[in-house]
Amino acid sequence: MRIYMEKDYEAMSRRAAQVIAAEITHNPACVLGLATGSTPVGAYRYLADWYRQGQLSFKEVRSVNLDEYKGLAPDHDQSYRYFMQHNLFNHVDILPENTQVPDGLAPDPAGECARYDAYIRSLGYAHLQLLGLGRNGHIGFNEPGDSFVKETHVVDLTQSTIDANARFFASADDVPRQALTMGIGCIMAARRVLVVASGADKADAVYNTVCGPIVPGCPGSILQLHPDVVLVADEAALSKVTAAGVPVCG
Ligand code: F6R
C-alpha cells in the first residue's frame, strides 16, 4: 500500500483527483468505481474544473458506483444517484448510459444485486476503484461483521453508520436502514484501489485498515491483500499511522 499524506482536506482532494485524472489520461475508456460521501466531494470538484478547462474528458469512461440506499428514488436528494449527478456527472461529459448506480427502488433487490455483479463482471471490473472509509472501517456499505461478503448484496446499516450519515438527513429516523452495496469481491477485483480519508474521526479506521489484523471486523483491512492500493489522506486521518512509525510519502 502506498500512502500519501497531505496537509489538509483540500490538498488531499487535489492529490486524489490527480490519481483519478492520471488513470483517465492513461486509459480514456477506463472503468471507474466511484464512491459518494463527503470525502470525495473535493476530488470531484477538481475533476469537474479540469474538464471545464479542457484538460480531461470522460467521454469514453464507464462508471460503477459502490452503493445506494434501499428505498430511495434516484431523484431523492439524499440518494447516491442524485449525489453523483450533482457532484460529478452533470459537470463532465460522461455519457448517462455509461454511469451505473444500484437501483434503490428495484422491486427485487436480490435480483438487482445479481444484475449489478454481472454488469461489473462484463466490464472486466474497475481499472480504478475509489473508496472512502467509514469510521467503523466499512468500505462501500460492507459493514463490520463475521465474514467478508463477496457479492453485491443488501446490507443492514449499523447504528454507527446511521448516526454518521444522519447529518445529511432531517433526523436519524429518516436515514434508510438498508442499502445495496458492491461486495468485497468486486472491490478486490479492481486493478487499482484509491482510498481517501480526511479528519481525526477517521484516524482509528485508517490505522486499523493499514496496520490492523485482516479481519471482517474492519472490512477495510482486506485491502492489505490487494496488490495496488494508494491511500491519500490528510495528516489528521493519518495521525495514528504516522505515530506507529509507518513510512508515508508526501
Ligand atoms: C459511499 C460509501 C461509504 C463512504 C464512507 C465514508 O459510497 O460507500 O463507504 O465512503 O461511509 O463516508 P464519508 O466520506 O462521508 O465520511
Which pLDDT score is estimated for 124?
A: 98
- The reported pLDDT for the residue numbered 250 is 76
Rounded to an integer, what distance in angstroms lies between the CA atom of residue 24 and that of residue 58? 8
pLDDT at residue number 205: 98
Task: State the distance from the centre of ligand 1 to the C-alpha of 103, rounded, in angstroms.
Answer: 18
Can you give the pLDDT of all 250 residues of the chain as single tens digits?
999 999 999 999 999 999 999 999 999 999 999 999 999 999 999 999 999 999 999 999 999 999 999 999 999 999 999 999 999 999 999 999 999 999 999 999 999 999 999 999 999 999 999 999 999 999 999 999 999 999 999 999 999 899 989 999 999 999 999 999 999 999 999 999 999 999 999 999 999 999 999 999 999 999 999 999 999 999 999 999 999 999 999 7
* Cα(141) to centroid(ligand 1), Å: 8
pTM of this structure? 0.97
* 47: nearest Cα among 79, 78, 83, 22: 22
Q: Note if 76 is an active site residue.
A: no
Picking from 85, 94, 126, 118, the residue whose alpha carbon sits closest to that of residue 226 is 126
Q: Which residue is closest in CA terms to ligand 1's atom 5?
A: 134
Unique residue bearing C-alpha cell 483540500: 10
Check if 86 is active-site: no
In short, whether 32's Cβ falls inside 6 Å of ligand 1 is no
Q: Is 50 in the pocket of ligand 1 (CB under 6 A)?
A: no
State yes or no: is 6 an active-site residue: no
End-to-end CA distance of the chain: 14
| Residue 81 near ligand 1, beta carbon < 6 Å | no
Is 136 annotated as catalytic?
Answer: yes
Sign of CA dihedral 48, 203, 11, 232: negative
Ligand 1 lined by 141 (C-beta under 6 Å): yes
CA–centroid distance, 140 to ligand 1, in Å, is 7
Q: What are phi and psi of 14, to 5 degrees?
A: -65, -45
Q: How far apart are CA 174 and CA 238, in angstroms?
A: 32
Helix (H, G, I), strand (E, B) or coil at 69: strand
How many contiguous H segments (helices) and E segments (strands) does the chain have?
8, 10
Write the residue with the smallest CA distance to atom 2 of ligand 1.
Answer: 140
CA distance 195 to 201: 16
Q: What is the DSSP letter of 62?
A: E
Three-state DSSP at 9 gives helix
Which are the contacts of 120, defined by CB distance < 8 A and separation ≥ 6? 64, 126, 152, 182, 186
Residue 15, C-alpha cell as written in the block: 492529490
Q: Whose CA is nearest to atom 8 of ligand 1?
A: 140
Amino acid at 24: I
